[in-house]
Chain A
Amino acid sequence: MPKDHGIGASSKRREDVRFLTGDGNYTDDINVHGQAYVHFLRSDVAHGRLTSVDTSEAGKMPGVVRIFTGADFEGVGGLPCGWCVTDRHGEPMQEPGHPVLAQGKVRHVGDPIAAVVADTPEQARDAAEAIIADIEEFPAVVDMKAALKEGAPKVHDDLSSNLCYDWGFVEENREAVDKAIQEAAHVTTLELVNQRLVANPMEPRVAIGEYSRARDEHTLYTTSQNPHVIRLLMGAFVLGIPEHKLRVVAPDVGGGFGSKIFHYAEEAFCTFAAKAVNRPVKWTSSRSEAFMTDAHGRDHVTKIELALDADNNFTALRTDTHANMGAYLSTFAPSVPTWLHGTLMAGNYRTPLIYVNVKAVFTNTVPVDAYRGAGRPEATYQLERVIDKAARELGVDPIALRRQNFVTEFPYATPVAVEYDTGDYNATMDKLEEIADLKGFAARRKESEARGRLRGLGVNCYIEACGIAPSNLVGQLGARAGLYESATVRVNATGGLVVMTGSHSHGQGHETSFAQVVADMIGIDENMVDIVHGDTANTPMGMGTYGSRSIAVGGSAMVRATEKIIAKAKKIAAHLLEASDADIELKDGAFTVAGTDKSVAWGDVTLAAYVPHNYPLEDIEPGLEETAFYDPANFTYPAGAYACEVELDPETGKVTVERFAAADDFGNIINPMIVDGQVHGGIGQGIGQALLESCAYDENGQLLSASYMDYAMPRADDVPFYSVDHSCSTPCTHNPLGVKGCGEAGAIGSPPAVVNAVIDAMQSGGHKVDHIDMPVSPSRVWTAMNG
């Protein structure tokens, strides 16, 4: 029987009521008394020198409060990068400055040149159009390999080249890997592109800066996945505001998918300008602006070589990737193609020797950073594609080839630094074969063929490193932040609880699932527990939500704090029951002396904590409130197997996803309904990447896909119902809930399944195509088959 409350129950989401009735409180719904509005004048060329910015006419226009240019920010810090990668030679990456408003040069279409603050948004926009910005246009670098050529235009004049870093991992293995590939019985090589994507949460970014002169206090309302991180980065590195004078509020946030992790110029601008003009300043991004300013994702060009012995065992893997950083280093950009990518190249397999080379490149494009999966989808995609190609070349079943090479004993230390604690990859593959009805595929293919369509099946595995991350480890790898999480559990006198978490929910349903955990631990109704997040004024310092970390790290902090609450409550109960606290048991919201019927209710104990008339004041303080910080011992390693069936119309090249199945191992599950939803959403984005989405630039650095007219988002009629299962569970061994995280799996595991299925469909029609790049558009498919 499914549980109806607590851990493991599909509790309905309490946050839904406000979202379903229009009562959500998104940042753009907030209006602060007296606020002015800012409109940014943005560069319409990709690369050039700003020779003059004439604001004289614009400044006279109605409603204009003040116009800011780069000169106003000369004494102000730039946007910081939170991760320093060390290159193959032991040198730090090249790290350019990133001014709030462009100074001297513009480096991508959308780079902000000036900002008009006015009484209304319309007045700000009208005045921005009257600014005359004179730009001496330079040739742009867009293609990564061209950007690295001798004599290529430099994005940053003060750097030696457009190379951010040349990273080798594991550098000591380089020669051994080369040798193993040279001596292998078979080597399969694949060159592919993991195309640039735009995260596109449905809520565009918004920032509102507010300043109290009397208190010298700043408030920033912003669409962020991690308000404390923004407070620290902006306060310490950009504006020089101590944290106790800066409050950052991220209320209801309409999706993030990584793009709302980062500290953006508009946040710093609104905070700065609110003090400068002594009025609140609000910015609401348009969607076109979002395409030009939200950090983009992926954009890797990769060559991968897989070596196998005569028995088809994987013996070595070598990859060579160019990763686009864009024009500036976004907050965590350098970590994505390195530590979030190279460490996952072992996948689910026992490949003893691996070498990953990544060249990160500056170009005149929007900065690229983490997007759902962040490095792990890129690793999974190349690996699962090359394995399918190897199986085809060797004439073996692709599932059997995978099974033969699976890691089966745990813990397993990969040759790429990480150690998988648990997993059972055969179990998830068995489950996949069942839920995807792989036995029925031949009949379905026949039926498709009878209608003149080709049908293909693609299967792949994935593993990811989540629960980010052990602080001491990431510190050694270049992180400039810790990656613990925090929780404060406040119990009120009448027994209700408020949990203040450093995690942030922007669709994940923490208000429901976190409450399930605490209620379960105490044995009380979920409605007695409220979850508070998103405001630095009332939550402990936390690192926020990304990297499928919230339940694994934030949930663990909450468990630790609740354990402290329970330990103290037991002491109070022992006093009330005149027993030893070692004999007190907590069950179903009551404290009992073990082996007796003497008991006291949760509410009596909480009341005693705040009305301590009969209370062990000599031993413990009154009150019942505890805080815990949790720093994980390892990453978690969710893994699974995915299957996609496509139908392909050979007349048009149009591909439709007919069936999609996902068998995941997320360890223990708190709310199965929410977990299903997370996987569905990830698969939807993965199908979007595989078939539809592409962020395109022309050779001059003009962004061609800057609206939903040009950037193909997956729609309801592009996807099928998905069959998802997470019954295969090998609980995480090192966190108290045994949880692994589920937020990114769908987006990581699904693109190779779709593309492998398309190739299988083409092959079934006699077309000897073994590679096609994403998005697998009808024209690409038709050309591959007929070109």
Chain B
Amino acid sequence: MPQVSMTVNGKPASGEAEGRTLLSQFLRETLGLTGTHVGCDTSQCGACVVHVDGKAVKACTMFALEAEGADVATIEGQAAPDGTLNPIQQAFQDHHGLQCGFCTPGMVMSAAALLKENPKPSEAEIRDYLEGNLCRCTGYHNIVKAIMAASGQDVGALAAE
């Protein structure tokens, strides 16, 4: 079986992968990084979003072998080494942007990519960007709110709760 090497969350990582092994599967099964979740088989749900060379990618849309030499970031690398949540993670907790937690890693990784491109997105821009991330628990309300808050916008004036 071919060997593949990449950088994951700043550290070198390598392992064997079949030609058909997806990046999502490689991260979960070979590297044990089970924070990247698999919620569908048609690249629709977005639970497996990671960053590859700085861009948000659904890890189920790439073969592991295609990530040779790439710089991959996953949910496990988002908090500080002492465990402090990053501002997006913290905003998700503060604004109850997650319930069952299954879509959450993908949501956080997508949100991070969005805020890199667009530091102060509007509500409509956030909803549009999250088109590829499904959540069944939250009705999206608090996810959108958390991302607005993480970008430093005042969310106190949103629809009354």
A contact residues vs B (CB 8 Å cutoff)? 12-13, 15-24, 26, 28-29, 122, 200-204, 252-255, 257, 286-288, 435, 506-509, 673-674, 676-677, 680-685, 687, 707-709, 713-717, 719-725, 746
Contact = CB atoms under 8 A, between A and B. Distances in A.
Given A201-B102, A252-B100, 12 more contacts: A15-B101, A16-B92, A19-B98, A22-B76, A22-B78, A24-B102, A202-B134, A254-B102, A507-B137, A684-B138, A708-B134, A723-B160
B34 A22 contact: yes
B33 interface: yes
Contacts of A714: 139-140
B142 interface: yes
B96 A204 contact: no
Interface stretch (B39-47, B51-59, B62-70): B39-47
A508 B161 contact: no
B15 to A, nearest CB: 14
Contacts of A725: 160-161
B39 A204 contact: yes
A18 B160 CA distance: 29
A26 B102 contact: yes
Contacts of A23: 35, 76
B23 interface: no
A723 B139 CA distance: 12
A611 to B, nearest CB: 34
Given A254-B100, A287-B40, A20 B45 contact: no
Given A254-B102, A255-B100, A716-B140, A287 B76 contact: no
A22 B102 CA distance: 9
A258 to B, nearest CB: 12
Q: Which 3 A-B pairs have the closest CB atoms?
A: A22-B35, A684-B139, A19-B101
A673 B161 CA distance: 9
A713 B104 CA distance: 17
A716 B131 contact: yes
Given A715-B131, A723-B160, A201 B140 contact: no
B99 A716 contact: no
Interface of B: 18, 20, 28, 33-42, 44-45, 47, 74-76, 78-79, 83, 85, 89, 92-94, 96, 98-105, 108, 123-124, 126-128, 130-131, 133-145, 158-161
Nearest to B36: A22
Among A15, A22, A288, A507, find the residue whose CB has the most chain B CB atoms closer than 10 A. A22
A750 to B, nearest CB: 10
A287 B41 contact: yes
B78 A287 contact: no
A513 B103 CA distance: 22
B136 A201 contact: yes
A288 B40 CA distance: 8
A677 B105 contact: no
A513 to B, nearest CB: 12
A20 B160 contact: no
Given A21-B78, A716-B130, A681 B137 contact: yes
Given A19-B101, A21-B76, A253-B100, A721 B144 contact: yes
Contacts, number: 201
7 contacts: A19-B98, A201-B100, A254-B103, A674-B96, A676-B161, A680-B142, A707-B41
B136 A257 contact: yes
A122 B1 CA distance: 14
A506 B137 CA distance: 10
A158 to B, nearest CB: 36
Nearest to A20: B89
A695 to B, nearest CB: 15
Given A22-B36, A254-B101, A507-B137, A717 B130 contact: yes
Given A21-B89, A713-B134, A724 B161 contact: yes
Contacts of B37: 26, 202-203, 254
Contact of B93 (A16, A286, A715, A716): A16
Given A22-B74, A723-B160, A202 B140 contact: no
A20 B140 contact: no
B136 A200 contact: yes
B102 A203 contact: yes
Contacts of A19: 98, 100-101, 104
Contacts of B130: 715-717
Given A680-B141, A716-B140, A721-B123, A16 B98 contact: yes
Nearest to A26: B102
B20 to A, nearest CB: 7
Contacts of A677: 96, 99, 137-138, 141-142
A723 B161 CA distance: 5
A508 B99 contact: yes
Nearest to B93: A16
B96 A22 contact: no
Contact of B85 (A20, A286, A683, A687): A20
Given A674-B96, A723-B161, A716 B133 contact: yes
Contacts of A673: 96
A122 B44 contact: no
A202 B47 contact: yes
Contacts of A508: 99
B45 to A, nearest CB: 6
B128 to A, nearest CB: 6
Given A21-B35, A722-B139, A202 B103 contact: yes
B42 A507 contact: no
Nearest to A707: B42
A509 B99 contact: yes
Nearest to B128: A717
A207 to B, nearest CB: 16
A746 to B, nearest CB: 7
Nearest to B77: A22
Contact of B136 (A13, A252, A255, A287): A255
A15 B104 CA distance: 12
B138 A681 contact: yes
B140 A684 contact: yes
A287 B89 CA distance: 27
Given A506-B100, A716-B133, A287 B141 contact: no
A202 B39 contact: yes
Contacts of A716: 126-128, 130-131, 133, 135, 140, 143-144
A713 B141 contact: no
Contact of A507 (B94, B99, B123): B99
A24 B108 CA distance: 14
Given A21-B75, A21-B85, A707-B44, A746 B139 contact: yes
Contacts of B144: 716, 721
A715 B134 contact: yes
A20 B128 CA distance: 22
